[in-house]
Amino acid sequence: MSVPDDLLVDVTGLAAELASAEPPTLLDVRWRLVGPPGRADYLAGHLPGAVFVDLDAELSGPPGAGGRHPLPDPAALQRVLRAAGVRAGHPVVVYDGGDGMAAARAWWTLRWAGHRQVRVLDGGFPAWAGAGAPVSAEPADPVPGDLTVRPGGMPALDAGQAARLAAEGVLVDVRTAPRYRGESEPIDPVAGHIPGAVNLPAAEYVGADGRLPAADLLRARFAEAGVRPGVPVGAYCGSGVTAAQAVLALHRAGRPDAALYVGSWSDWLTDPARPVAIGPDPDPVPGPDPERP
Residues serving a catalytic function are 237
Q: Please tell me the distance from the alpha carbon of residue 70 to that of residue 156, in angstroms, as a whole number.
A: 11
How many C-beta neighbours within 10 Å does residue 37 have? Answer: 15
SS3 281: coil
Q: Please tell me the distance from the alpha carbon of residue 168 to that of residue 166, in angstroms, as a whole number.
A: 6
Between the alpha carbon of residue 112 and those of residues 104, 136, 162, the distances in Å are: 12, 30, 18
Between the alpha carbon of residue 223 and those of residues 170, 231, 237, the distances in Å are: 10, 11, 19
Q: Please tell me the distance from the alpha carbon of residue 216 to that of residue 161, in angstroms, as a whole number.
A: 29
